[in-house]
Chain A
Amino acid sequence: MLDFSHLTVGQVFELAPFKVTRDELLAFATEFDPQPFHLDEDAAKSSVLGGLATSGWHTSSILMRMICDALFLKIDAIGSSGIDEMKWLKPVYADEVLSGVLTVTGLRLSNSKPNTGIATFEAALNNDDGEAKAFMRSMVFVSTQP
């Protein structure tokens, strides 16, 4: 398990490829974003999305999972206070394969939480053609105790 001292500003973590299956897309949309253009192929084609595409909230959730696999499950992560910015740049279509990079942008000790560091980061998500799909700026609390 890594701790706060293992992080450096500018450090880059690769976000491993993640395939967005049609079944997962439909299951997520049914539960959290059941709008016709996320559930129905014909409605999607005639919408601004141009085809069956994920909810932005699904894209964000997938990005969080990729960040967990790349970093949060390998450090002593103890939560986050939020997401400064999330950009949904392009629709993510069924069966696309996403990958990306996370870059550590800042490191400081928490003023209010003992033994806790704050790592700020940016994460960029793209498909396998290199098309940018989403971008996120956020932070994570990390234990400073080895």
Chain B
Amino acid sequence: MMGLFMEEIELNARIALGSYVFTRENMIAYSRKFDPVGFHVDEAAGRASPYGAMTAAGLHTACGWMSRFVESNRQARAARTAAGLALPDIGPSPGFKNMQWLKPVFAGDEICYFTTAKHKRALASRTGWAMVSGYNEGVNQTGALVFSFESAVLTAMKG
């Protein structure tokens, strides 16, 4: 996570990952493939829905988070390489919990994403690896929390 070994990760530090702009085009492109219910793919159906306008698919909001997380991680790793520091291997994730779509995301919304490491523990079953769990947020241009979830990722240890 962010190019860091488990021992280097500071708990409860909220890290800004950057933002993702939802557009009519990228919303329809994602939802046609993965969530083609009317109010995600059609503006008229969106207006007739309880949301009053076409909305981004919930998992599109999550994928926007991932794209910002990966880019932040890439930049952190590049900086680490430039500084001559060792790079931790990137581990897999067992999944996520408690994903909440708190408010609709509309075309034109810019969502700022954040991650905060909350817990870390060495794994007895896999020497050299730890499980790091985090709380993740998406905040829109008015400052409203629209999206949150709890992540987990296997993270390499120094020693």
> Which residues of chain B are within 8 angstroms of A44 by Cβ–Cβ distance?
none
Tell me the count of chain B residues lying within 8 A, CB to CB, of chain A: 35
Closest to A75 in B: B37
A34–B55 alpha-carbon span in the complex (Å) = 25
Q: List 18 A-B contacts (CB under 8 A).
A: A32-B63, A32-B64, A32-B70, A48-B91, A55-B66, A57-B63, A60-B62, A61-B33, A61-B63, A64-B34, A68-B36, A77-B37, A79-B39, A81-B102, A82-B98, A84-B97, A86-B97, A134-B95
Question: Which residues of B in the span 13-63 have a Cβ within 8 Å of any Cβ on A?
Answer: 30, 33-37, 39, 49-51, 55, 57-59, 62-63
> Which residues of chain A are within 8 angstroms of B74 by Cβ–Cβ distance?
34
Asked if A33 is an interface residue, CB under 8 A from chain B, the answer is: yes
Question: Which residues of B in the span 56-102 have a Cβ within 8 Å of any Cβ on A?
Answer: 57-59, 62-64, 66-67, 70, 74, 90-102
B33 and A65 form a contact (CB under 8 A): yes
B95 and A85 form a contact (CB under 8 A): yes
A61–B94 alpha-carbon span in the complex (Å) = 16
* With A79-B39, A88-B93 as contacts: A35 and B57 at CB distance below 8 Å: no
Give the number of A-B contacts (CB < 8 Å): 96
Main secondary structure of the interface of A (DSSP, over half): mixed
Question: Which residues of A in the span 60-81 have a Cβ within 8 Å of any Cβ on B?
Answer: 60-62, 64-65, 68, 72-73, 77-81
A110–B26 alpha-carbon span in the complex (Å) = 31
* With A33-B66, A57-B63, A61-B59 as contacts: A82 and B101 at CB distance below 8 Å: yes
> Which residues of chain A are within 8 angstroms of B149 by Cβ–Cβ distance?
82-83
> Which residues of chain B are within 8 angstroms of A72 by Cβ–Cβ distance?
37
- B42 to chain A minimum Cβ distance, whole angstroms, is 13
Asked if A31 is an interface residue, CB under 8 A from chain B, the answer is: yes
- A54 to chain B minimum Cβ distance, whole angstroms, is 12
